[in-house]
Amino acid sequence: MQKRYFLLAALYLLTSFSVQAQTYQTLLKGGHLIDAKNNINKVMDVAIQDGKIAAVAANIDPKMAKQVIDITGKYVTPGLIDIHGHVFAGTDPDGQLENGFSSLPADGFTFRVGVTTIVDCGDSGAETFELFKKNVIDKSQTRVLAFLNISRKGMYGSEFSLEQQNNSFFDPVLAADVAKHYSEYIVGFKVAHYHKSDWVAVDRTVEAGKLANKPIMVDFGGAIPRLSLEELFLRKMRPGDIFTHTYGQIIKTKETIVDLETKKLYPHVLEARKRGIIFDVGHGGGSFTFSQAIPATQQGFFPETISTDLHTGSMNSAMKDQLNVMSKFMALNMPLADVVKASTWSAAKAINHEELGHLSVGAIADITVLNLREGKFGFYDVARFKKEGKNLLECEMTIKDGKIMYDLNALSFPMAK
């Protein structure tokens, strides 16, 4: 009887020690970590506990984790951040983007491409943000943030509607008040689709930014006569403000960043970067051309942030998704580490959410696991011209707040018997 007691006690102590030794919920083992904030670009293990990064080291003992996922040969990055999307999806037949049929449900087009945070770009305004928060932000598993449109109605109706073109809808004081009230979700202000040859929309957006101490994102209208990018960059926008659609179409209503004759970047573009203007991709269905991107990147002008301008008009066309745009820039000779940085840490800093975009110990466990496929891949732009690349990024797994949200090849599941 006494012998049996000692055996049971020993078994209990052994079991107890084993449970205590498993200090991590999940261990990602053997992946190549790219973390720009922490200057890491090498094979490292990453451990997760209670939705946070618990440890990052060259070799973490697998016995310390309840779940070990072997990701040898794959890349590990912070959860990708898309700072320009359209996810105020609804059923309003009159809405162009805001609550209309052009926007997309966030959870349908994020986790499967490694995106854990998406920023809705101006679909909602001061009068419609509460509806957006109730219907989308509060109901999405994806982290959804927002640039608030300077138009109090947001992107309602057609691009040339009253709400988009009438100055009486641009209320910087109201916009700033709403942004301060919902500061956790609203990252800044957006001006877009304004087609008059004046600065009213930009000026009022900047005013809102000053009142709320937040950046603005500029989707630079399109007007005849054209407005000056030099004026916008050097006298209107502030350091930390974001210019989206950087490599946009060559059309008569908009100026470009590359001189069409010399193929050189305009001096004011380089000066704007020195001033601290952030240049964002914002690919979209009509805002990325190789005729601008190739000469710009050949001169070293890569984007600070890579974003999609996700909506129904772009996802089935040249843009496709965040990883396709990242791969496109790799085809333009942007190094993988820089492409990842532009989609993680640089994006987090641009929207002033520096709790995101890195895998420091104690940080939110938003993680993307990527395959880097090698071969011959084709990418095309909105003008329907093609460029070939040797690499294509593919999402293997997406983790948000420590929870596996997408698992392409069931790496996290036990084998069937």
Domains of the chain: 78-350 (3.20.20.140)
State residue 162's pLDDT score: 53
CB-facing half-sphere around the CA of 208: CA atoms within 13 A: 34
State residue 164's pLDDT score: 60
Q: Answer yes or no: are the C-beta atoms of 171 and 149 closer than 8 Å.
A: no
Q: Answer yes or no: are the C-beta atoms of 169 and 162 closer than 8 Å.
A: yes
Question: Strand runs (DSSP E) across 229-316, as ranges?
Answer: 242-243, 278-279
State residue 176's pLDDT score: 98
Q: For residue range 117-135, list pLDDT tens digits in order.
A: 999 999 999 999 999 999 9
The low-confidence residues of the chain, meaning pLDDT below 50, are 1, 5-20, 160
pTM: 0.93
State residue 269's pLDDT score: 98
Strand, coil or helix: 134:
helix
Q: Cα(115)–Cα(112) distance, rounded to whole angstroms?
A: 7
State residue 253's pLDDT score: 76
State residue 167's pLDDT score: 77
